[in-house]
Structure 1
Amino acid sequence: MKFPIKITLLLLWTVCAAQDCYDAPPRKPTEILTGTWAESVYREGTQATYKCRPGYRTLGSIILECMNGKWESVYPKRVCMRKPCGHPGDIQFGSFDLLEDTEFLFGSRVVYKCDEGYQLVSPVNFRVCEADGWSNDVPFCEVVKCSPVTAPENGKISTSSFDPEQEFTFGQVVQFECNPGFKLKGPREIHCSTGGDWNEKEPQCVEIFCEIPRIENGNILAVKPIYKENERLQYTCNAGFSHNERGDATCTKNGWTPVMSCREITCNPPYLVNGNIQPKKDKYRGSDEISYQCTKGFYPPLTGNKAKCTSEGWLPLPRCNLRPCDYPEIENGELYKPHWYSQEYYRRLFPESIGKVMYYHCNKNYVPAQGSTSSYWTQFSCTEEGWSPVPECFRECHLYSIENGHFWPKKGHYKEDEDITVQCNYGYSLPNNHNKITCTKQGWSTETKCKKIKTCTLRNYFDNGFFSESKTYYLINTAAKYQCKEGYATTDGKKEGFITCGQQGWLNQPKCIKICDIPQFENARYNGNKTFLNPNERLEYECLDGYEITRGQTIGVKVCDVDEWPRTLECYEKSCHLPILQRNLYPDPKQDKYKVGDVLTFRCLNGLKLVGPLSVQCYHFGWSPRIPTCEQEERRCAEVPKPVHGHVQTTNVSYSHGSSIEYDCDENFTMVGSKRVTCNQGNWTQLPKCIETYQLGKCAPKFFEDLQVNLYHNKLGNIVVNYSCNWNSEFKSTECTRGKWSPKPQCPKKESCAPPPQIPNAQEMSTIVNYEHGEKIVVFCKENYLLRGQEEIICKNGQWHSIPHCIEKQPCSKPPAIQYGAVKQVTSSEADDDNLESSTYKHNTILNYTCQEGFKMIGREEIICNMGKWSSPPQCIGIPCRKPPQIPNGAVLNELNTYEFGEGVTYKCHEGFNINGSAVITCIGGIWPNPPQCKDVRCTRPPQFNNADMIGISRRYYFPGDKVTYQCLPNFQSEGSAEVTCIGGSWKGDPRCRDNSCGYAPQIQNAEIISFTKSRYQPGDTVSYKCVRPLKMYGKPDVICINKTWSELPQCKEEVGKCGPPPPIDNGDILSFPLSEYAPESRVEYKCQKFYVLQGSQFVTCKNGFWTKEPTCLGMC
C-alpha cells in the first residue's frame, strides 16, 4: 500500500510543476514573428524567434520562451531600434531643421530653407529617413534677383558702372540723385530685398519749390504763391508773438529753412530796486505794460515810469535811480544842450544821475559862481548832495566914479551882493538916503550919484500916541514911525503906524483911536476873528466843556469902553461836592471836592448790602447815576425797652425795620444820648440815659450827639463816657469833673496811614512809623526792574494811593540781520558781559551796524534794546554802477549811463558768436563782475572726405546750423548721412563712401575666364569660367561680386579617380550631405550614434576612385 501512494504523489508534483502557454507569441510594432504559430497550446520551453521590421535593427536574435505559462524574453536587452540614416547633407547658402527627433533615425524628417537673399529651386524642401536611406535629393538655393531699374526724369542713378539692362541680386543698393533745381520725391536709395523686389518704389525728381505756409500767430508777407529754390520769404508775427530766429526763411530742397514759427512773448516780473510795480503778476504776456513808482529820492529814467514786455525783455528797462539833480534853472545864464534837442524834450531828460557832467555860461554882465573864466562854458557835475558847484550866474557891476561924492573900495568890478560905501558931499545924499550901494541882480541897488537933499520936519507929539524915533528931519520918500498908547490903535487896528515925507511935506498924519484888545482866553473860546473892538462893541465868549464862569454859567459878555476890560478871561473847572450819604455808606476816595470825570466808589459798613450802582462819576451836571444805599433784610424789633428815669408813649408789641420812637426823661433828669431810637434789623439802636440834672453840672452832652456812647458812674460818682467816632471803631473815654470833660473829647478829622506796603521787586521800605495824611514816599525798584506808574505813593485818609509796579527789564533776542551789513560792536548803558555771540541782550544794550564795501547806510547806525524789542535797524543800499564793460563781438542790450544796485544788464553776441558765461551780470556795490565773452562759433570751409565731393559752392564762413551735403564718386556707395553740420565752430558729421566693387577677377587653377574682364567689378557683376580640357569643373561656373567679395570659386580637376558615395557604417553616419560623386582627395567625416565609440580614423579620403578604410562603431560595455 505504501508504493502506490508514492507514485500518486510523484504524479501530482509533476502536474503542478510544468505549465504550458495557451496563447501564441505576442505581435510587436518593431519586430516580425517568424514561423507558423497555429497551435492552441505550447509546451513550456517552446521558443519563438523575431526579426526586426524594415527600418529597424538589432544585434543578435530576439527570442521569447514559454516559461510558467508566459512568453518571456530570453535576452531582455535585445530590442529593435530605429535604423540611422547618417547626415542628410548640407546645402550651399541654406540650412535645414530636424523635426521632432534629435538624431537622424528611421522616420526622421528634415526641412531645408535658404539663407536670406536666396531662394529654393528644388521641387521639394524636405528629406525623410527611410529604410534604405534618405528620400529625395538635396535641394539647391540660388541668389534672389531683382528686375532692372531706370533713372528718374531730371535725375540719374549714382551707382557706378550702372547697366540699364542688368539684373540686381539681393542686397545690392541703387542710389539716385537729381539735377540742380530738382529734389528727390521718394527714397534716395533702394535695395534688392529677400523677395526679389525692390524695398521701395523708384523715386522721382521734382522741381524744388515751396508753397506759402500757414503760420500760427503770424502773417506771411508774400508777393507770389510759389517760391523756388534759394528764394526768400519774409513774415511777421502777431502782437504778443515773436519769431524764433529771424523774420525770413529760404526755400531749400528740405522746405523752408529755418522753420517759420511765432512764439508767444512772455516776461518774468522785472527786478526793480527802490520801487514798486503795478500790476503785479507771476508772468506777463507780450505788449503787457506795467507802471512803477520809485521810493523817495529815486527817479525813473527819462523814458518814463512805464515799460512794455517785448521779445527783447522789458523795454525800457524799469529802474529807479538815485538822481538828486533836477533840471538846473540858471537865472541870467544858459545850460548847454545839443542843438538837435528841443528845450521841452531836454527838460524831460532830468533829473540826472550821480556823476553826470554838464556845462553852462552866463549872460552879459553876469559871471559864474567861481568868477570869470577864460572858457566860455563852465563845468559842473551831479553829486549825492546835488549839483556841485551850484550852477549860478552872479551880476557883475562896474563903477569908477560917483557924482558929488566919493566911495570905497575902488575895484572897478564888483560881484553880486558886494557893497560899496559912499560919502556924499555936504547937502547931498544918495537917492536911498543910505551910505551904501549894493550890486544886485538888476545892477546897483540905487542910482550911483549924490543928489541935493529935500526934508520934512517932525512934530514932537500928537494925541494918544508918540513917535518912536528921535530924528527931527526926514528925507523925501522916507517914513517916520509912531506908536499908539495902551488902549489905542491906528485906524487900521495896529499898534504902530508910519507917515511918509513927500515933495510937499508929510503925505499923511498920525492918528490913534480908543480900542479894546481881544483878551487872552483860558479854558474858553472866542468865535470871532477881530483883534480889537471899538467902543460899545460886545464880546461874547463861552467856556470849554467841563468849565464854567460861576456855578452853572458857561457864557460871558463884555462891552468895550463900558465894562472893566480884562487882559485875560478865564473859565474854571467844574466840580462836584461830596454828596449827602447814608450813615453806613462809605465813599472812596472821600474828599470835599471832585473834578469832572472823577469816579467815586462805595461800600457798606456793618454787613449791610449795597443797593444801586457800585460807583458814580462827576459830570458837569453833577453826579450820575443816583447815589446807592445800604440796606439789610428787614427784621422786626420786639417791645421797646423802658429807660430808667424815663418813659416812652407807645402801645405796639413789635416794630418794623426802620421804625423810630422817642424817649423822654422824668422830671429833674437830663437825657444823655439821642432821644430817638430806631429798629435796625431786629435790634434797637443805643438807648439814651436819663441822668439827674444836678450830676451833669456844666458838662454839656452836645458833643456826643450822633456818636456811639456808653455811660457809667465811677467810684467818685462822676459820669464817665466811652465814645467812638464815626470812622473809627476804637472807643475813647472822658470823665465829667467839675463841669468839664477830662480829657477833652475829640474826633480827628483825618486818619494817618499804617507803614507802606512792600511792593514786589522794589527796594525794602520796612518801617514801623505811621504816616500822616498827605505824606509821600519815593519808590525805588530793584536792579533789572523798571518802575511803571508814579514814582511816589501818597497817604490819603488812612490809605496809600498811586501804588506803582516794578516790572522786569525784558532782554532782547539776537539783533535783526540786515542785508549787506552786520553788527559792528556792542555797547551798553549797563555793565554787562554782552557780546556778539550772545543769544540775548539786556535792556538798554546798544548795537552798531556797518555796511559792506560798496554799500552806504540809510538811517541811524545804532539800535537799542528797549524792553525786549530792538529799535528799527538801518539799511545798506548799494552804490550805483557806471556803464557796464564792453565785450568784443557783442553788445549790451538797452545800455544806460548808470545802474542801481541789484540791477542787471544782458549781453548779446553778434551773429556767429555764442555767449561764454552768464549773459547777465549784476551791479553789486558799484562794481560790475567780469562780463561774459563771445566765442566765435562760425565754421570755416567744409572738410574734405575721401571719394566724395561737396555739393554747392564753398563759403568762407558758415553759421551754426548750416549744413553741407556731399556725394560719393562713381563706384562708391554712401554709408550713413551724407551731410555735415556746423555746431559750435566745428563741423559735425562723417560722410563715408565705401568702395563696394571687387578688384580683378580671381584666378582659378586650370580654368580660364570666358567673360569680358575689367579692372574693377561693381556689386552684382559676374565672371564666367571654364575648365581646361579634359578637366571637369566642380562648382558653379559663374562667380558674383557681392559687397566687395567674390562668391565661392569652382575647381577644375581630373574626372578619373572620382569616388561614389562614402560607404555606410553600422551605428554611425557621415556629417555632410552625401554626393553622387566626389573629386579625388575629397574627405568625409564620420560620427557614431549615442552609446557607441568610434574605432579608426574619423575621416575617409577619395584616392584613385576608392575610399580609404572606413571606421567602425562599437557598443559600449
Structure 2
Amino acid sequence: MKSKGLALIIILIISGELHAEEKLCGFPSVENGRIAQYYYTFESYYFPMSINQNLSFSCLVGYTTATGKREARTTCTAAGWSPEPQCFKKCPKPDLKNGYIFDSKLSYKIQENMRYRCASGYKSIAGKDEEVVQCLADGWSSQPTCRKEHETCLVPELHHGNYSTTQKTFKVKDRVRYECASGYHTASGKRTEEAECHPYGWALTPQCTKLKCSSLRVIENGYFHPVKQTYEEGDVVQFFCHKNYYLSGSDLIQCYNFGWYPESPVCEGRRNRCPPPPLPLNSNLQAYSTTYRHGETVRIECGLNFARQGAEEIRCENGKWTEPPKCVEDKQRTTCEAPPSVGNGAANPPSEVYHSGDKVAYVCERGYHLRGPGEITCNHGRWTLPPECVEPCTVNVVDMHRNNVEMKWNYEGKILHGDLIDFVCKQGYELSPSTPPSELSVQCNRGEVKYPSCIRKGVCFFPFVENGQSASSGQTYLEGATVQITCNKGYSLPDNKGSITCAEGGWSSPPECISTKKCLKTDIVVANGFFSESEYAYSVNKETQYKCKPGYMTADGKTSGTVRCLQGGWSSQPTCIKSCDRPVLVNARVKSDVTWFQLNDRLNYECHAGYENQDGRTTDSIVCGEDGWSHLPTCREPGKACRFMPQLENGYSQPSVPPYRHGVSVVLSCRNAYTMIGNTTVTCIDGIWTELPKCVATNQLKRCGKPRFYVRGQLSSYTHEFNHNARVSYKCAGKSTYVQTVCINGKWDPEPDCLESAQYCGLPPPIDNGDITSFPLSAYSPGSVVQYRCQSFYELRGNLTVTCRNGQWSEPPTCIDACIISEDRMNKNNIQLKRRNPPNRYAKTGDFIEFECKSSHKERTPIQSFRVLCQEGKFEYPTCE
C-alpha cells in the first residue's frame, strides 16, 4: 500500500514539472499600455503561455513602443517575453529659448527626429547654427539648447576628479585636460578627457560620473540577490535556482566599467543532466566540470605511451554518456622528429631520439623576447606548437622629431611585439584633415614602428576644385598664402572673389565653386500645403520647408517636407495627400503596421477572439475617404445563446441539443392534420427566440373573403370566397402588371392594396450594440412595428419599437455604452472595487461604481470621488497613495 502511494506522488511531481516546462510565460505587466481585454477577463485560461506564442500589446495615448508605434507584438521564449513589452513616454516639444523649431508638433514618438535652428549670435551644444535631435526612451538624445557665443570659458567645479592645471579661464579653442577618480568616468565614458573651449562654452562640460550598470532581468526558474534599479561599478550579484533546477553559467557576476561580466546564468531542469563522465584507465579530460547538459561532448585523451581504442569524444544524451574509449598500452613507443626550428632561438637540450612525453625548452638570442610556451612536448609522434622569438620595439627620438610627434605616455619596460604605442602631435602641430585620429596609435610589429605624421597648424591643403580650375590643386600651403581659382561659367566662389587665403583655422572660404543659379518660390506650387519660410529666392543646394494642411500628409507620411534647389530647378514637386490616421479600434486589431493611409486605401481589421462585428463577421475592412474612415468598426461579444426550445403546440422541432448559439435557426413542423401558419423556422437572437408559428387544425382553417382594395384595382378572379393557401392576382388601376397575394387562415398576405410600392419599408435600421427581436423580412408593409433590444450591460435610449410609415422607419433607439472597469488603471491608482460591488468589470449607464484604497494606501482624491456614476461608458477613477 505504501509503495502505491509513493508511485502516485512521483507521477504528480513529474507531470507538474512537464506542465511548467510547456508554459513558460506568465501574464505580462505592460506599464502605460495594455493587452487585449479578453486576456484580462480570461487570464487563467490563456496564461501561462507556451514557447513561440505571440502576444499583441498597445500603448496608452501619449506613449509608444520602442519602434515608435502604438502597437507591437512580443513572443514567448525560454528566457521570457521577447522583446519585453514596454511603452515609452513621447518626448514633449521643448521650450527652446533663443531659437526656433521647424515643425509644429506638440510631441514626438520614440526614434523620431526634430530639427531646430538657433538665432543669430547663438549656437547649439555641438556649436552649430542648426541641429537635429532624436527622441529616445529616456528623452531627447541631447537637450535642444541655444547658447550665446563667448570669448572665454570658465572651468567648472569638478567633483571626483582633478584638472591638469590650476588655470581657471581659457580662450576659445584652448583645451583643458582632466582625470576622474577610480570608479568614475568622463562625459564621454573615459578615465581621462580633454575639453575644448568653444564660442558657446565647453564642447563637453568636464564632469566625473559614477560608473553604473543597468538593472538585471528576471531569471526564469530562479532569483538573484541583491535586487536594485541600478548597480555601481564593483557591485557583485549572486544567482540562485529553484528546486529541481540548476545554474548553467557562473553564479556570480560583477559590474565593471564596460558592463556586466560574465553574462547572467540560466536555470535549467535537472532531467537531462549528466554526472561527471566515466574515465577509462590511463586517461584524462581536456576540461572538467561537475555537471553536463544534454548534447554536450567531452574529449578523452590517453596518457603517455597509451593508445586510444574507440571514439575520441563522448556525448551526454538524456542523462547518460555514450560509450567511452579504452586506453591500451602502446607496445611500440612512438617517436617525434627533431623539434621545429625557431628564428633567433634554439631548442635545449638537443637529442637524437624523442619519445612521447619528452619535453624540449627554447631560449631566444640576446635582444629577442620569447612569445608563447617556453617548452614543447612530443605527443604521439607530434610536437606541440613552438614559441616565437620576436624583437622588441625601440622608439627613436630622431624619427619622432622628423614626424612632429611625441609619446603620449612614459612606457616602463620593453615594448614587445603586438603592444600598442600611443603618440600625440607636438605643440603647434596637428594631423592632416584626411588622417583619422586612430592613426596616432601604432602597433609594435617585430621590432618595427610605423610613426604617424603631423603637420604644422595653419597649413592648408588645396583639393581639386569641382566646377572650376586652379594650378594649385593637390598642393599644401602655409598660413598667409593666397591661391587663385577660376570657376566655370554659371559658378562662383561663395564670396564672389577670385582667390582664397590660408588662415590659422583653414581657408578663408571653402575652396569650392557653387552655382549662381537661383530657384524662385513662384516656380513651384504646394498642393494642399504652404511654404513655412519667408525667403523668395534660393541658391543651388539650399533647402526650404513646406507644411501640409490639417488632414493631409507628404508622400512619406509626415506633416512637413523639404525641397532643394538644384542646377536644373527644384528637386521635386511637393505634394500633400489626403490622409487618414491609423484608427484606434475597440476589441479589434488592424492587420497592418502602416501609421497613415491615403485616399481610397483599404485597411483590414480582425476582431479579438470571442468578438464579432455587427454583421456577425470576425474580419472586415474599412476605406479611407474624403471625410475620414468609411466607418469605425464595432467588435462586440456575440449575442447570448438560447437555452431550451419553446414548445410548439401541435407541432415539433428537428432533434437538437441546447444551448443554441446566437443566430442559429431551427426548423419546425406540424403534426398530421395540422397546418403551419407563419415561418417554418425560428432563430435565436441574443438569447431570445423569434416569434413561433402556429399549428392550426386543417379542418378549422378559415377562408378569405374577396380582397378589399385601398385604391381602385382589378382582380383576376370573380370568386367571393377563397380557401387557405389560395393564390389570386390583382392589377392596380393604371398598371399593366398583376401582383400576387395568398390566403393564410382567413387573411390575405400581403394585404392587397394599390398604394405606391415606395411606401413599403426595407430592413429596419441597424443599431450599435443591439438588434431586433424578430426575424428580419425583406419588406415591411405600412404600419409594421419592429422591437429592439440591447446587448448585456448596454442601456436602451429612445423608443423600444420603430414603425414603418410612408416607406420610412421611425427613429430607432440607441444602446448607450457600458463602463469597462480597467484592472490596470485600478492597480496604477492603488484602488480596488468595494466588496459589495458585483465581481464583473462592467457597469450600465446610471449605475454607481464604488472603489476603495488597497491595503496600506490612503485616499489622495476627495472621499466623494470614490463613488462615481457611469455615464455613457465614461467615469473618473479616484486615486490612492
Q: TM-score, normalised by structure 1?
A: 0.18
Which one scores higher on RCO, CA 8 angstroms, separation ≥ 6? 1
Give the TM-score normalised by the residue count of structure 2: 0.21
| Larger Cα-atom Rg | 1
